């Protein structure tokens, strides 16, 4: 049995979903209440592979909301993640993906030091960030976009914003080793880590966001969007492809211009309908088939009986792991999600 730990994108969104699900107490309550709300298993999932294999899973709503971080309620945010993980483990879920902000919170606030949650000792092997599959899918989306918009990668400049993060560094490795990308621009906050990445890649130019934007034919956005950063579409080349790896996907609504193509990064499409109800609340076009690649990673691991923390820690994603998860993704019928032509 696999698990997905998810959360909603804002308090308003959460209240709306709670109302639709008939949880009146949650629908009518403010952030203080959500800060105390316990995690819940809110959906049972059945996924069928194109091989015919069926797997079963559960969706754990952590009750985390991004407003908790925005208002500095770090303790509440951390509790949501740990309590959701403890619940997944108590339910006996063999492999659970930490969706949305969950794994960022786990890593950023060093929750690995707090592995005991009440009477549960968290077994980390039961959890995966799903980052390997997300990185793989972003790379596939980039290559598919190059084909669709007739852009030659061998002559293209790709900017990776958030290059030193777990997903960003994996994307960089793939681009350097598995594609013919002409130029790679590395953008992140910490200079030292950028230099380390550059040394490892033996390729790539470290530059600022402002310098990168006018030069980038492709932008892979996998960084946290710090407050105050706004993207001016006029400075971007024409054509330009942006792969928005953030959650929620909010670049497309901000940026609209001719010759600018925004792709929901790290999203996959399954070949067969998935039996679940929760995705209809997560703002995707086709809830029976569209999902986050990180969620799909726990499904792939469940299909294969790989009950292990396949993606964990920072910058540990290797090309071999990317190849393997890609192979499994295709085998079971997942495809990178591309916008309608």
Partner 1 sequence: MAPANVSLPANASDTTLDYSSPAYRQAYSRINGIVIEGEQEAHDNYLRLAEMLPAAAEELRKLAKMELRHMKGFQACGKNLKVEPDREFARAFFAPLRDNFQKAAVAADLVTCLVIQSLIIECFAIAAYNIYIPVADEFARKITEGVVQDEYLHLNFGERWLGEHFAEVKTQIETANAQNLPLVWKMLQQVNEDIEAIYMDREAIVEDFLIAYGEALANIGFNTREVMRLSAQGLRAA
Query: Which chain residues interact with partner 1 by CB under 8 A?
Result: 21-26, 28-29, 32-33, 35-42, 66, 69-70, 72, 74-76, 79, 83, 87, 97-104, 108-110, 118-119, 129-131, 134, 162, 165-167, 222-227, 245-248, 250, 265-266, 292, 294, 311
Torsional sign, CA 316, 320, 323, 325: negative
> What residues form DSSP beta bridges with 244?
221, 264
- Shortest reach from residue 127's CB to partner 1, in Å: 11
- Shortest reach from residue 311's CB to partner 1, in Å: 8
Tell me which residue of 125, 74, 126, 133 sits closest to 104, measured CA to CA. Answer: 74
Within 8 A by CB and 6+ apart from 36, the residues are 76
* Complex with partner 1: residue 73 or 153, whichever CB lies closer: 73
CB 162, CB 168: distance < 8 Å:
yes
For residue 25, what are its two tokens? 């107490």
* Complex with partner 1: residue 129 or 329, whichever CB lies closer: 129
- Shortest reach from residue 332's CB to partner 1, in Å: 20
Within 8 A by CB and 6+ apart from 193, the residues are 164
Rg, Å, the chain Cα set: 19
- Shortest reach from residue 179's CB to partner 1, in Å: 21
CB 121, CB 115: distance < 8 Å:
yes
Tell me which residue of 337, 7, 321 sits closest to 133, measured CA to CA. Answer: 321
- Shortest reach from residue 202's CB to partner 1, in Å: 25
* Complex with partner 1: residue 114 or 182, whichever CB lies closer: 114
* Complex with partner 1: residue 147 or 250, whichever CB lies closer: 250
- Shortest reach from residue 246's CB to partner 1, in Å: 4
* Complex with partner 1: residue 87 or 145, whichever CB lies closer: 87
For residue 127, what are its two tokens? 């959890």
The structure tokens 């009750």 sit at 63
Q: How far apart are CA 111 and CA 124, in angstroms?
A: 11
* Complex with partner 1: residue 153 or 222, whichever CB lies closer: 222
């Amino acid at each position: 049995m696999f698990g997905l730990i998810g959360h909603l994108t804002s308090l308003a969104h959460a209240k709306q979903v709670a109302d639709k699900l008939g949880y009146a107490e949650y629908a009518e309550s403010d952030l203080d209440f959500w800060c105390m709300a316990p995690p819940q298993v809110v959906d049972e999932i059945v996924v069928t592979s194109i091989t015919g294999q069926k797997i079963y899973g559960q969706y754990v709503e952590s009750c985390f909301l991004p407003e908790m971080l925005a208002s500095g309620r770090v303790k509440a945010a951390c509790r949501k993640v740990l309590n959701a993980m403890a619940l997944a483990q108590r339910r006996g879920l063999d492999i659970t993906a930490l969706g949305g902000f969950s794994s960022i919170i786990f890593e950023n606030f060093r929750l690995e030091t707090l592995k005991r949650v009440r009477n549960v000792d968290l077994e980390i092997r039961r959890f995966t960030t799903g980052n390997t599959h997300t990185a793989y899918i972003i790379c596939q989306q980039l290559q598919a976009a190059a084909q669709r918009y007739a852009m030659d990668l061998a002559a293209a400049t790709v900017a990776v914003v958030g290059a030193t993060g777990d997903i960003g560094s994996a994307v960089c490795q793939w681009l350097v080793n598995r594609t013919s990308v002409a130029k790679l621009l590395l953008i992140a906050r910490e200079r030292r880590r950028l230099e380390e990445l550059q040394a490892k890649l033996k390729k790539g130019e470290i530059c600022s966001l402002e310098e990168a934007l006018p030069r980038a034919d492709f932008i892979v956005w996998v960084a946290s969007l710090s407050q105050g950063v706004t993207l001016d579409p006029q400075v971007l080349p024409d054509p330009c492809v942006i792969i928005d790896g953030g959650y929620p996907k909010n670049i497309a609504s901000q940026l609209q211009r001719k010759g600018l193509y925004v792709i929901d990064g790290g999203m996959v499409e399954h070949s067969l309908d998935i039996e679940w109800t929760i995705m209809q609340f997560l703002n995707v076009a086709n809830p029976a088939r569209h999902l986050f690649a990180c969620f799909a990673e726990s499904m792939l691991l469940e299909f294969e009986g790989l009950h292990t923390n396949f993606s964990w820690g920072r910058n540990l994603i290797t090309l071999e792991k990317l190849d393997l998860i890609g192979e499994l993704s295709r085998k079971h019928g997942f495809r990178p999600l591309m916008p309608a032509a």
